Structure 1
Amino acid sequence: MAFFEALRDKAISTFNQVVLDKKVGAESLSREQLFCQRFNIPDEQRVLSKAAVTIAYSSAYTNQGQGQGKSQHSKQNGYANPAKRTIFNESRYSGNLYLTQQFLLFEDGEDFRDCSFTLHLSTVKKVEREPSVYENRLILLITTTSKLMIRFAFEASLRSDTERFAQSLSTVLKKNQPQIKKLDAFVQTCYSEYLLAKNNISNLNVEHVPRGGLGLVFKFPGNPKESRDKTKLKLWFDLFMEDGRNLSLIKTQMFYKLIRVGLPNRLRGEIWELCSGSIYLRLQNEGEYQRLLEDNKDKGSFAIEEIEKDLNRSLPEYAAYQSEEGIGRLRRVLTAYSWKNPELGYCQAMNIVVAALLIYMSEEQAFWSLNVLCDRAVPGYYSKTMYGTLLDQRAFESLVQATMPLLWEHITKNDIQVSVVTLPWFLSLYLSSMPLVFAFRILDIFFMQGPKTLFQVALAIFKINGEELLQTEDDGSFISLIKNYFNTLDSSAHPTSPQLKYRNIIKFQELLSIAFKEFSMVDEDMINVHRGKHRESIYQNISTFVKRTEIRNLPKTPNISSNGLNILYDRFYSLVEQSNITKGSGSSTIDYKSFHKFMSEICEWVAPLEEHANAAGSPFLNRLFRCWDSGKHNTLSFPDLVVGLNGLVDPDLMSSMSSFFALYDDDHSGKIHNNRILEVSEDLLYITDPWKQGLLLDRISKVELQKQVLAEQQKLPEEERAQETVTVDEATQEEVTGKQIERYLHAASTFIKRAFEYAQPDEDEPLIAELQISPKFRHNAALDPTHPVYLNVPTFRMVILADETYELLFSTTLRDSIHLEKAVDTDLNPIRNLRDMFDGLLTDGMKVASKVRSRMDSRASQVSNSGQAASIASSASSAKSGKTIHEAEEEERDDDFGTISIDEKDKDLILATETSSLSDPVSRKNNNNNNNNNNNNLKRTIDTTNHQVNDEKQKENDPNLNLIDF
């Protein structure tokens, strides 16, 4: 396919464009790109040196007291300064250390989740070298008052490698010294730094709360008390003290565990950008976001027009996007990205994703996170063809077939389109399908472990609803069942269980448990294998998939056959490809020039544009173009064109004349006046030009020629009539043609005469009553402004029907001259831009999410109202104890842990994520007894693993069972 081959060649030559599949799948990336993606650092980084090392680290606050004592006594215990004697953490981690132009990178050799870090070199304050007889060591002092010990092996064969690494580190640190100057200002944009500074743990003086998301103004989704938000924030506070933060964070098992149980609202944005690597892009390109907005201020583009259409449809259930502040932030981020990446501009569902990011992130944070999402996390999802999304749909279907064969057999047997259900999940990262409070929990894990999260969650949804899905027989019931499941995610997964702890487990917790335990084997390697199976076939299927979807959603066009619609689609999008996509406009419409070319290919009375004396083309085609343009953007979409052609080829004579009349009724008054009557006459002359010049013959002329043939045939002997082909001579043909020319000239003249003869006088008086009119104009009714007249539809029909030639024009001649099913004469395979194709799917999912959100907010409101009495009592108690209300409120500040102690039981509940199962053996047993043998077999087939449920007694004795979070 020429179009995709051209894009493929372009990708190979530029390397920096995200086009189709060049970044969908690890096998298409270079070794350097794979390395950068592994550590989520900018693509231009290259490995300068590598060494096998053992590392250990320490903090000034390690083992220096626990709980409430840290903040209260930080100054007198000297926590703000590094300890004189460094006592490193007892844990030692062996692995590979990498040095690039701006980063020092490490990952544990056995499991990167045990220990890894991406240390920006601007955070390194000092390097000390401690050689000994047995080992070479480097001690790095970090700006966060942490120390990092790097031990190299002292073997003779590695001595030179160690020296080279140390020399390279010294050289790179010197080059990064200019970065140190802007480090303080940058880290003050991170809430983690503010959190520690507020509690006297940071040397930095952070005076103001960093710019954050809309949640700081419009509140964050969900109930913070139910989610134990403050306790989670305290756990992160402890982690930051011991393991560093932002640009110098060391990621250990605790880091990943805290993400899995759900991030606190205040830190969610920072942890997202830290996991995705967008924080490094933000540091590297400081100020670029504002420059993009300033440099392109007041400029317009097609992408900006598309953005404006979608602004009010971006998470409308969230209060911020019903205000100018939220809409303004969203507009600026999407607009800035469209200028940074004009080749892409704006794509469907980007507004939903960015709207979600802005709840927890500042505009600049969201902007760079969007860059990472489009270029790296889900490449090809937000693109002109959305190739990455469609490829992952095929990969997902392949995974369903492999893991749930019985369900897949049922899906294929009933011709259920899985992609119609699941595509919005992937495209909007579940934000348009689930209530936000649940979708953000999935995003937490998505930013931590990548796109495999989308597959694992989708597979878990299918498995949980497997038995019910086997009862569905069509797309509608399949979608309805899944929507109902999303509608009840906040309800109990086991409402009939006799044990309270199982009744407290909601469906969303069960979903996460199955997704990340039973489908943990679905990793990037497995997904890439399934992607590889369909990578080539998706090229052939993408056009068919999109064509079928768009044609199915077209307005009714009874005058155009199904085959005609298919051919018109191919013709239209071949012009779109030539005029728009290759120019990077991202548009799925055609301009007037392309429209004229389109009509010249199917209409016998339209000459190519270059043959017109007037550069603007035919006035009649310009009128068609303006009238068919429903959006009034001087462009035509495919539905616009099809609806217009449907009226032009109407076989009903009366309807055909009415449609033609409507083209000139600009004000929809049912009247066309003097000047418009003249335009109708001129346009009829234009349309009938091929017949007026004798280039084509209409039905009257063809019948006349047939009569001449029959007459000539009658002159032959009877035995020769059936054997010889009789033709008329050239003189006869010229005679018939001449009569036709006279008929069309007479028809045009008669139309003008009868139109003004039968036209009705306009009731409105002329603007100048006493105007002196030349006798020449006074005898021409069309040019006499003192006698305005008009035609209505009945009169127009009467004038047309009074002439045989024009009556035939509207009944058959015009329709027969438009060849809708003429084959497309092009080698290009047309491709449809997908940006607006999924609008209905996304909107439908958002309705479900909004409904659940409203119910949850109502329930939270009831809880809040019931707690007001307790709050009043608490205030009274504070006053009685001598504390002011202000002091009592200060104790509840989210960023102050000096007087807060956490119940260890509460802490254990949150951190206990390694549960054996969330299934209730009692309810499962009862359910199995109620099902017949066939249903039991179905369930066993749907199960994807040999996951065994521990017995009830073992669960009751498990102190780590998590009833709150997965």
Structure 2
Amino acid sequence: QPTKMWVTPKEVLLANALWVTEVTNQYFTLQRRKGHGTKGLSSLLVETLDAVMDTKPLPYRILHSTPNSEVSYEVASSLTRTEIFQNWEWLEANLLETLRNFESENEATEFVCCKIKSLVAQSGATTQVEDDSLNFKQNAAKFARVFNMSADEKLINYYSCSFWKGRVPRQGWLYLSVHHLAFYSFLLGRETKLLLRWTDVTTLERSNNVLFPESILVSTREKEYYFSLFTRVEDTFALMEQLANIAMRQLICEETYATDAHLASKRSRNVPKKASHLKRDLDARAHSEAYRTMFRLPSDERLDGTVDCYLWTPYNKQHVWGKLYLSSNYICFESRVKNLVSVVIPLRMLLLAEEVPKHAFPNSILLTTKTKANFLFAQVVDREFLVEKVSELLAKLPSTSVENSSSEKSSKASSQDLSSGDGSQGADVTCEPGKSLATQFGAKPSGEALVLEAEKELQWESHFADYGRGICTYRTTKAQELVLRGIPDSLRGELWMVYSGAINEMETNPGYYRRAVEASLNQRDLPSDEIERDLHRSLPEHPAFQSEVGIGALRRVLNAYAWRNPSIGYCQAMNIVASVLLLYASEEEAFWLLVALCERLSPDYYNTKVVGALIDQGVLEDLTRDNLPNLHSKLDVLNVLSMISLSWFLTVFLSVIPFESAVSIVDCYFYDGAKVVFQMALAVLEANQDALLKCRDDGEAMTTLSGYLSSVTNGTSGNNLRTSTSAGSPVTVQTLIYESYSKYGFITSNMIERQRLKHRLAVIQGLEDTALKNIIRNAGSDAVISQYLTTEELKELFAVIKVEQLSQHRWGRGPTLPSALPLLPYGEQYHLDLEQFQGLFLGLGPWTCGECPERLAARVFRLVDLNSDNWISLNEFFRIMGLICNGDTDDRLRVLFAAFLIPFVDEDDDDTGSPAAKDAVEAQETEVAAEAEEYFSSIEEIPSVVSTNVAGFKHSDLLDAVLKYNRESDTEWTSMSSGIATSCSSSESVTSNSKRSESRASPKAEQKSLPNMNQEQFVQLWRCVYRLFAQEQDVYHSLATVGTQLLQIGELGQHAAEVITRQPVEDPVSSLSEEAVKAWQTEHPQDPMPRTGSFEMSAVQSHEFEGRPASAPSSSKWDEHWCISFQQFRACMHSEEKLVAFFEARTPLAKSLQRYRQRKTERQSSITGSTAVAV
């Protein structure tokens, strides 16, 4: 019985409003929505009403009613006529006779309702997979149908809004998918469509003004689009921001969006069901990212769920209301009052989770850690479920969990082994394991500094006694106060590890650093060379980096991170940061601190494009404009902010402030995150505001700021290695930090993230525009590319390639691109694989008809792929496509000829027995075409021989001969005898490769020539040429004629080569030609020698081939002496006008690109039509 179309019975008062009855009986009525499947005024009005009100029901339904009742009940609905009639037939067969036996109509109605409810319940019980709501399915199908989307493009959500087209708002629906923003409106017969890629969006802003109240602005490079009148503008904008952010990350690092498969099977309670699984996945992704940022957790941690509860704080004996967070490896708590208290408990350190039966607060849970710390949570909703969930997560942890003691032992052993040497340098240098460089090389403070340092240590020890020490502590505003005062040197490394979250990654990855060092040992590449260059530039004034101990440790840390993250490798400024980390932390701890800084706290900073720093430069400009408007106007004119932000942000002020003062800023940075650098930057600018306003140029402004920063001192340190050079009064770093927090403490991490998203769009799109300009400029400087492709054609080709690669990467079908070295030209940093090349070759090239365009594309790709790594660069693609699309007849023939000289394995090449080939043979009307086809049939079983004609000929030389040949050096045919001589000389070169270059050298140029083609290669070439004209019977005669001519020429060359073998002569070329002519006249006294340009010869039958056609093979293997040159091949092809017309026909590349895009759209439409149900 059908179960998918039943619905819970609901009352319908006006059964015939906007509905047409199709079938009816005493108890049931099948109806169709008015206007569905028709065109007219009624259809127009109904569709407009449904589009505006979003009440569009399914087009078919079944109602239950009794003869004397005015109320009907909807019992089934469906998208298609076939499905609804299945329900109708089931009702007539199973219920109709039963209903006629009821005496009361009310009893019949009650029976129908109960029966349908049971069918609905049965359908729900048997469905195990989470399905989207019915309304969402309708809109998803409509989205796919209206915008011709493929089945892979899934709708996330849709919103009712108005799109301002000119001055008139169009009410409709905004559709958001992972890769597109779309709008559709249908009002009184007028359609409005808009489709944008997220990768094309440059600006995304919320605005609220008189003209566009509560609107969202979406900008691209070409136009601005306003959407307004949202019912939930906050939710809509948040989702749009998230999707734009995903698109930008795809542009800069080819990240592929993939849904979380774990999410669908996750058990949850009190969670509202989302209409779309993708929407649920994106929400979970956003919540997990905020969760990781809040508690400094590893980047792969996923939030499992949250619950409101109270936390008992023993330091003040109170209960604090807040939220408990649970993930795969952590239990965290954050108070509702900001910064009041927070807790991070790694599950690896959790010993016991139990319910507390008797307590002042009900539903309490007690968590006990391995360090004997207790955490009590009260009034926990669904306490039993939470305890069960924690126990389940604990059971999934590895049995050999890393405890503190074992981790410390492993860390010490690792440090001791690694510090014993780094291979080629410093092998005899040792350092104390697990200790920082400052403990070995730092000067001990004296006098007042020693007293202040001891006082800070006592304050922290007291804090540890009250709030706990290590990861599992109560983090309160008291800890923030101590951090702002400065962390003592003896505790700095430990607290950096805790507050940055680096300790979690180190303890969950024991031995990782050692493996990274060993893997990067003695590795010589671009990052390692840059590291070696910068090693002695890192804090050269500190004694630790004047010895091999510090240099060796810094080398190992930087090389290990370059090995861990090859997408970043090494970036300047990392050496300064790493050197300071090594002063206060052990080698392994410094490595994990560097990981936290580069990958979580300052994402995208340390790469070849320093994208993160450029984004934060824009954020700083906005903050300066909002908080220091007068100063911003001055700095904007001087362009100072762009000059200072990189050096300040990349090194966290370590390169501009004396490091003994800057480490206090690093203390705050690891505690509060990236917002600290913005606070400090604003405080520095405000402190110098008066002086900067008086500056007349950027140099004066930079001098003012440099002098101020270099005079910053540490009020609690007496170890100043730099002396102040500023004439102004020095300022302490503690004062500067206090000013930044008191005046700009309102800046939050969430605020920074929102601003980063805004500027990420502009920065990345700007980098994309710059990359396009560089690629076009680089391609335009290439002699071959500029000869065949214009600038506009290059831009259009690059745009198509970019769309294709984004499509493949976003849907997970594209392979990972090879790493792009920054030293390569721009056109060599982008690559295409075979699949991408084939799609573009078949879509844009002239050889797309017939039966073998894919194989021909594969051969051309193999020709261009010089290093045989299955990738070709963008410039290589431009060269070959320019030659094929815009070259002349000889250019195309040269590509075709050379493509079959490269060794190529094709499993499906032997297919002349295919039905298409057989049909083509049967359709031939000329005898000579039949003979040529008979030749191909006769050699199918002949084994291949090694191609000796290209032995010793470099692949690069072959490609150069195709792309950079000199037409004047090509020998033109003037007579048949000269052709024979050329063939014979070529045959001689087959037997002696050393003489080939001498016999074919051109006195006019040193351009390389194409090698000769052997018999096997020619058969494959001519088979492919035949297939290019699979449906053109009138060309077969020309093909057969030229094919026969080339076969005969190759055999004449073979006969001449045998004459050479029997009678060596002093002048091979001239004597060979004479012997060949005599042989022909002796064996064929009745046949005159062919004349210039005439190839209408009868079948050649020498004494070796007597009794067989000349085109038949002479033995059970390929003829080793058979060969033809490109000049012979070209001359024969030029002898047939139809073939010349085919190979010289050109289609403007702009039209080919337009046709290619149209075919892509039509193909998507056909895919959609086969997978999506029409609405």
Look at both structures and tell me which one has the larger radius of gyration over its CA atoms: 2
More RCO (CA 8 Å, sep 6+): 1
TM-score by length of structure 2 reads 0.41
Q: Going by fraction, where is strand more abundant, 1 or 2?
A: 2
